[in-house]
Structure 1
């Protein structure tokens, strides 16, 4: 993204307008991180920036420099004042520092040690070799919304918001789908398989490609005779194609997942307190950081500080200030988001699944008056624990058909098919008619698409 566009955003986006460009760089990085990764990130910054220190749980109470008569609030205000003290001085004179995309001055996350590279890291390395400028910004936004198994958890429209063209987002998604591991950024189950087949040299007219594209669900319920008849192939050719398909990876991202299945650390908690539901950000383990007082003192009194030392302190002071501001802005944004979810979905948390309301990221962004891409970044890889269990935040956001949530439609389609006459299964047109009687207007083609997503074969393959 260009410098001018970044500045334009700072002037027009309410959540970021008061901050400078380096702070925005930090903010966009931190807003994507779940709390566990944020802790790692901050601890790395504490090690790499000598001006930073971790604030003790009860900061200042045992500090010899602190007046014992100071109240906790006074200490807090003094600490805030100390951390902000250097801003006017820092920007009152030029310093020989040039921030370029190549230097990645603020990309400390790339240097955080890890047991193994995550899917995000693998894809971003390739993106940085493939894209520059705005395209790289779009790629990072897309990759931050790719889940552990490679699924892209946001639509191109949700990702584009009012910041990017949908066509550009779609173009970059298609390129990312051909990064290693092949097939990530998929939205439908067959996508990674089709992309992998193309990479193996199977054309769109090959039996393998046609089986995945048109008969994947039928393959799962094992109706080879009907498929062979339709494709005019013998059993040997069918088994050969089927064996090829069985070797493909339907969830290519899992091989890079470091998250143990079955365990997540929630980033937010909604619980009952005094007969009222309350939401909170689970950031107790996130280190609280501040700027060391001796360096603030050196800026106040520069008598015994040479120019080289002063430039170094000012450079690190800028970085420290930007990080502190970005962490606080992340906290404020995430708090607004979780409170917004609680407010809109209160009946779901109180009464259960049947009360989940349709809500797209774009609509929610308008409610909070923030950029949709900010919402998309903020929801990435974060979990909420509530009386209804543990859910990914993106569980609460979905594209809607009319005024009916997709998940409600999925449930109704499944119920209709489960209760149909097995000797005369319902066609997609008949299912659409049944739904219309319940006030849900939906096309036959959409029924077919949703049925595929549910893993339910066409009516001719359901007959018993």
Structure 2
């Protein structure tokens, strides 16, 4: 074998150190950004930090935020340092628009969570206890299931894992199917059987196995743990028939240059101070980039999802990372970083930004299909319950084309028994 030297032309795009730092700042939540500024101010003598005045530029936004926190007499700094039990943390997420009865039922559901934050009551129990119909009970359970931490009010470990997979845009194609039907085979590592039955390669089956194995089995906090108060990163509120987006940077300290060191930098060349100046400029640009990107993403959602902000989560239309990225002419990973760990305050309470991105079947969101299945079963002839195949046929009349297996999966996620057991 003879070694040869060859030349290849290759076009590559590389991020500059400044761009990498901008993306790092972009993915920080408000609390994390505050911590970064405090850390950098200690490292960089050019950075002066000043606390912002408590008055926000829009008094009406301040009043809305205070009202929606269901709290009075607390200063912003108290919200940063205050620790609450997880129960209180969950109660804080109850929408302000609910009625007294709904508030009571939601409290009951939160009290019905075990130490793993799994739901121990059933929809039938809720219906009998409060004399409400199935659709109303399911709607309230869905509200609690939308709370943070992710996975709260799951029915069991299997349901919790399936919710994780449904929420993961990069989940392997057969992961949910394996969790539903093949957990025993995975436990026994019967990879060859799975490979043959599903016509997958050995590598694909192994990757699915490792992915499922890596998933958590319960939500990340228990009722005995404390959790910090979540500071929303943005507020969306309606004023005079117009939706207003306010990036909540009132808690973020203002940073400026230390004039003493700037004069030193003018009078002499100092490599260390020049580096500090570059770091300062990069941080200011990164914070501005974070603000503009978050605003652009929320502005897109306000434009595309007006019914969600008017009426609630059941009116969310399917939108993916790719849709937003294409509209804003940025990369999907940038959108993903911008929404990571961030929350917005809406007329219906706080919501994680990632909840704005929902999967769809065709042009219909999974949440909408859940609602339609629930409505079909609620209104069915109780003497002749609809089979999963009949539900498929009914959905097809509404131009929703899914398989019987998918209907069965969604029915189980809704904790609705099969037609034989109804």
TM-score with structure 1 setting the length: 0.53
For residue 217 of structure 2, the aligned residue among 250, 263, 278 is: 250
1:287 alignment counterpart: 253
In structure 2, relative to structure 1, the CA distance for the partners of 1:452 and 1:373 (3 Å cut) is farther
Question: 2:405 matched to 1:445?
Answer: yes
TM superposition shift of 1:411: 0.9
Contact 1:352 1:388 in 2 (8 A): yes
Q: Structure 2 matches for 1:98-109, cutoff 5 A?
A: none
Deviations 1:291-333 (A, max 9, x none): 322222222211xx7xxxx222222222222112111111111
TM superposition shift of 1:342: 1.0
TM superposition shift of 1:436: 1.1
Question: 2:188 matched to 1:203?
Answer: yes
2:33 alignment counterpart: 38
Contact 2:359 2:365 in 1 (8 A): yes
Deviations 1:187-225 (A, max 9, x none): 79959x959x97xxx4156xxxxxxxxxxxxxxxxxxxx
For residue 346 of structure 1, the aligned residue among 306, 316, 321 is: 306
Tell me the SS of whatever aligns to 1:376.
helix
Q: Structure 2 matches for 1:54-453, cutoff 5 A?
A: 54-55=49-50, 57=52, 151=164, 153-156=167-170, 190=179, 202-204=187-189, 250-251=217-218, 253-254=220-221, 260=227, 264-302=230-268, 310-453=270-413
Question: 2:48 matched to 1:53?
Answer: yes
C-alpha RMSD of the superposition: 3.9
TM superposition shift of 1:354: 4.9
Give the Cα separation in 2 of the matches to 1:52 and 1:189: 53
Give the Cα separation in 2 of the matches to 1:256 and 1:45: 35
Deviations 1:361-412 (A, max 9, x none): 2112111111111111111121111223321112221122111111100111
Give the Cα separation in 2 of the matches to 1:249 and 1:378: 24
Q: Which runs of no fewer than 5 residues in structure 2 stay unpaired?
A: 1-9, 54-82, 84-147, 152-160, 191-214
Deviations 1:405-462 (A, max 9, x none): 11100111122223334554322211110111223222223222322333334434x2
Contact 2:233 2:248 in 1 (8 A): yes
TM superposition shift of 1:352: 4.0
Q: Which runs of no fewer than 5 residues in structure 1 stay unpaired?
A: 11-20, 59-114, 116-145, 157-168, 175-185, 206-247
In structure 2, relative to structure 1, the CA distance for the partners of 1:47 and 1:411 (3 Å cut) is same
In structure 2, relative to structure 1, the CA distance for the partners of 1:321 and 1:36 (3 Å cut) is same
In structure 2, relative to structure 1, the CA distance for the partners of 1:331 and 1:259 (3 Å cut) is farther
Task: Report which of the two structures shows the higher radius of gyration computed on alpha carbons.
Answer: 1
Give the Cα separation in 1 of the matches to 2:328 and 2:355: 18
2:97 alignment counterpart: none
In structure 2, relative to structure 1, the CA distance for the partners of 1:445 and 1:170 (3 Å cut) is closer
Deviations 1:206-262 (A, max 9, x none): xxxxxxxxxxxxxxxxxxxxxxxxxxxxxxxxxxxxxxxxxx97325336998738x
Contact 2:52 2:250 in 1 (8 A): no
TM-score with structure 2 setting the length: 0.58
Deviations 1:35-84 (A, max 9, x none): 122112211111222221114648xxxxxxxxxxxxxxxxxxxxxxxxxx
Give the Cα separation in 2 of the matches to 1:36 and 1:148: 19
